[in-house]
A and B are shown apart, each in its own frame.
Chain A
Amino acid sequence: MSTVSLLAVLIALFSLVPLGYVAYMTVATGWDTAVELIFRPRVGELLLNTVLLTVITVPLCLVLGAGGAWLVERTTLRGHRWWAVALAAPLAIPAFVNSYSWVSAIPSLAGIWSGVLIATLSYFPLVYIPAAAALGRLDPAIEQSAASLGLGPWAVFFRVVLPQLRIALTGGALLVSLHLLAEYGAFAMIRFDTFTTAIMVQFQSTFNGTAGNMLASVLVFLCLILLLAEVKSRGTARYARIGSGAPAKATRLPLRHYQLPAQLSLAAVTVLAFGVPVWFVLKWLIAGGVEVWAADEFMPALLQTLLYGAVGAAVTTVVAFPMAYLAVRRPSWFSKLLELSNYVTSSLPGIVVGLAFVTVSIRAVPGIYQTAGVLIAAYVLLFLPRALVNLRSGLAQAPKELDEAAQSLGKAPLTSFVRVTLRLTAPAAAGGAALVFLAIVNELTATLLLSPNGTRTLATEFWSKSSEIDYTGAAPYALLMIVLSAPMTYLLFQQSKKVAGQ
């Protein structure tokens, strides 16, 4: 077994720590206690909340995301370039900042429908971006063939275009559902109880109670069901090919008198999802004046956030490399299994990963609890796939034939690896690292659980201020998170247009 395989196995084993923790805790609790803690009215209530939230929000996100993508990519929408970016923009606003703005707009906001409102506005870009990318890449020749077989424009859309969007849409729906399960801040702010908020409450009151652990195992169970459902409906993924010709230009459907309604509905979505949050952040900023920018509180939080983001992004990219390399260069059941273990872990909510690391670092390796290393390790597990997906597509652009060509030109294997494979993968690796950085900057839940004493990040500072209803004090942190996220969101959007496959 090569060094690369060995590294990949170690990483995969490490990534199984949270899942192992949940399984172990469930078994250790004992059957009777577990049944007692799981089958009780409180869990039923949380389950109902979570299921309702998912069942209502996901279809809304699909309609907004796929509809927006279709308008932007496939119709003669005026200013479609501008709209393309505008619809992705809400991704730059962390869900808990969105929640904060809406609560300041309507202080009475609470309950399931507020949850649906905020979640839909925050997460529909997760469907929109892959759907737009898939629509943009779709070969127009297929649609033209369908038209030549006698299908009208609407029939072409439903019978040819929509089925090809299936992978993008199921993938987007899975992402939205996982975010709904994992989100803490946005729902805690509007006092809407989900499993994640309940686990956090348990953790804050009993630190490491059995009740919290059992909630976590139900949550993990839900995540696994979602993953399974997505795998079932996804079918086989396709991979990038290099050296393809210039893509043909897609034909756009004339909107005619639907132009105005389309413009208005997109404007409404953008105002609600992007305009409202930014407006209220700015409003609180102006209300707060200069004193909210107190440098002795603000600068350390910014610097620590940047540091954690940079280190976390670098470590995640390095850790992802052996895995991506195996998956692309030596695909087998073995590499698939390794990837799967990472995939499962990264879809676990931050709260579960946080809880697992708290327990393991206290019980198994005392002395590392609340160190920066543990927090970075949690970030790596949570955000590994973001780096992985990018590295994979980057490596796919550097097929092994190029490595071999370099070797037949007299370059030693290591030299050819550095000069060809690594060089060709670098842009994709940078893109992946940027995405991980963005995720870390906005991460709240695991950071709250694991950060060393005295560590303040933008997200945790924002959270503690807004929890104390210090809305003006929280505003600078909100603004900074949005400003830091904006270029990364744009990058993600641009990249989705290029990255083929997966």
Chain B
Amino acid sequence: MTEQSPSSLPVFRVAPSVAPTTNTHLEIAEVTKNFGSQSVLKGVDLSVAKGGTTAIVGPSGSGKTTLLRLIAGFEHPDTGSISLSGQPVAGNGVWIPAHKRHVGYVAQDGALFPHLTVGQNIAFGLNAGKLDGGRRAVNARVQELLEMVSLDAAMVKRRPHQLSGGQQQRVALARALAREPELMLLDEPFSALDAGLRVATRRAVAKVLNEAGVTTILVTHDQAEALSFADQVAIMRGGKLAQIGNPFVVYTRPADRATAELLGDAVILDAWMEGSLATCSLGGVPVRRPPAQGKVQLMLRPEQIRIAPDGPIRGVVVDTDYFGPETTVRIKLAETNASQHAASGNGHRYPGGGEVITIRHWNASITKPGTELCLRVVGEGVAFPQEREHGQE
């Protein structure tokens, strides 16, 4: 699932869309949408900068595809408004239909026209009459687009069913790019592809869109895809945006536990918060801007917990899953022993002890079940106010 290497934290990036900007391309304000009695979008606000890449990630049924279809103009919002480059396109009595919005759209399965060849598909949105040079110009443009998405020029004559899934997605992208849209919407375009192809196609598509300077919104349920593709990630849950921020921020500082678990594996422990130090079975972990004091839940990413010979924390390996480059190790932490921790000297016993956590390690040979290991925590944790029903994952 995740692509984070076990031994290094993601490199911090400053995203253009996170930096304050007046150059807003898409503005969504208080948009709601119901299907019958079911409320799918419950007030969504989102702003996307020109040329930026935004990923909307969320579990299925969270309303992310509906949001995309509202932006494309396939559905009407019930309330709220949408504007493109400052021009209102939906809401407040305004309605610009899809074909006048100049928004590119690539669907999950590509949605290529089965009765047309690849060339005819790509040329579908081009108007030979309006282009200088007529048909010849259209053909030249088709060739140019094929090259742009790294497809062979000989593909022009092929039918969609003669292409592989990845090729179909590239043709769909070329078709959408033909009219040079300023905004491109991608609705889980890689999810139908197998793992290897998915990464390659995603990288190729990102490169093409980046070079063309097209503002892009990607909808996905794959957190790795969202984090690697976009410079702004919006987490959607239950018809609302739970958090918006650059990938590094949303991954390392998720707003709540559900977001943390949506974006990747998380180690969550009961902890006692005092000042900016959370004390738990892993000792004292610094927390920036804690939301509460006293009893909290502490979230760490597995890669923040390292096996180190001089580490202060003890744990015993319960079992392991070997994946080749890395091994998932389940470790039972030592039972509580207050005398080991100076931080608990003020009379509070910190919560927890004896939890089983899951981390990753590259060396399978030192993680045999029953081995005692020494652990060390790297970096800061994130604290969430105590929840009642949840236990350790």
Contacts and interface: CB of A to CB of B under 8 A. Distances in A.
Interface in B162-184: 172, 175-176, 178-179
B189 to A, nearest CB: 12
A423 B115 CA distance: 8
B102 A402 contact: no
The main secondary structure of chain B at its interface with chain A is loop
Contacts of B109: 243, 401
> Which of B97, B99, B101, B125 has the most chain A CB atoms inside 10 A of its CB?
B99
Nearest to A405: B111
The main secondary structure of chain A at its interface with chain B is helix
B74 interface: yes
Q: How large is the interface on B (under 10, 10 to 19, 20 to 34, 35 or more residues)?
A: 20 to 34
Interface in A371-430: 397, 399, 401-402, 404-413, 416, 420, 423-424
Contact of A408 (B105, B113, B114, B161): B105
Interface string A418-453: 001001100000000000000000000000000000
Contact of A404 (B72, B100, B172, B179): B72
Contacts of A409: 99, 124-125, 175-176, 178-179
A450 B73 CA distance: 51
Contacts of A413: 97, 99
> Which of A404, A406, A409 has the most chain B CB atoms inside 10 A of its CB?
A409
> Which of A404, A410, A420 has the most chain B CB atoms inside 10 A of its CB?
A410
A406 B101 CA distance: 13
Given A243-B109, A401-B107, A408 B98 contact: yes
B30 to A, nearest CB: 24
B124 A406 contact: yes
Contact of A405 (B73, B97, B107, B178): B107
A237 interface: no
A407 to B, nearest CB: 4
B103 interface: yes
Contacts of A420: 113
Contacts of B105: 404-405, 408
A242 interface: yes
B113 A407 contact: no
Contacts of B239: none
Interface in B133-178: 161, 172, 175-176, 178
A408 B103 contact: yes
Contacts of A401: 107, 109, 111
Given A242-B114, A402-B113, A416-B99, A410 B74 contact: no
B114 A424 contact: yes
Contacts of A412: 97, 99
B254 interface: no
A409 B111 CA distance: 12
Contacts of B111: 399, 401-402, 404-405
A397 to B, nearest CB: 7
A23 to B, nearest CB: 34
Nearest to A411: B99
B104 interface: yes
Interface in B41-82: 72-74
Q: How large is the interface on A (under 10, 10 to 19, 20 to 34, 35 or more residues)?
A: 20 to 34
Contact of B99 (A243, A410, A424): A410
Contacts of A423: 115
Contacts of B178: 409
A397 B100 CA distance: 26
A338 B103 CA distance: 37
Contacts of A242: 114
A408 B175 CA distance: 10
Contacts of A407: 73-74, 97-99
A408 B99 CA distance: 5
B114 A404 contact: no
Nearest to A397: B114
A284 to B, nearest CB: 47
Nearest to B192: A243
A404 B172 CA distance: 13
A251 to B, nearest CB: 26
Contacts of B100: 410
A424 B115 contact: yes
Contacts of A408: 72-73, 98-99, 101, 103-105, 176
B76 to A, nearest CB: 14
B293 to A, nearest CB: 51
Contacts of A243: 109, 161
A373 to B, nearest CB: 36
> Which of A243, A408, A412 has the most chain B CB atoms inside 10 A of its CB?
A408
Pick the 7 closest A-B CB pairs, nearest first: A409-B125, A408-B105, A407-B98, A405-B111, A401-B111, A407-B99, A410-B99
19 contacts: A399-B111, A402-B111, A402-B113, A404-B72, A404-B74, A405-B107, A407-B97, A408-B72, A408-B73, A408-B104, A409-B125, A409-B175, A409-B178, A410-B125, A413-B97, A413-B99, A424-B113, A424-B114, A424-B115
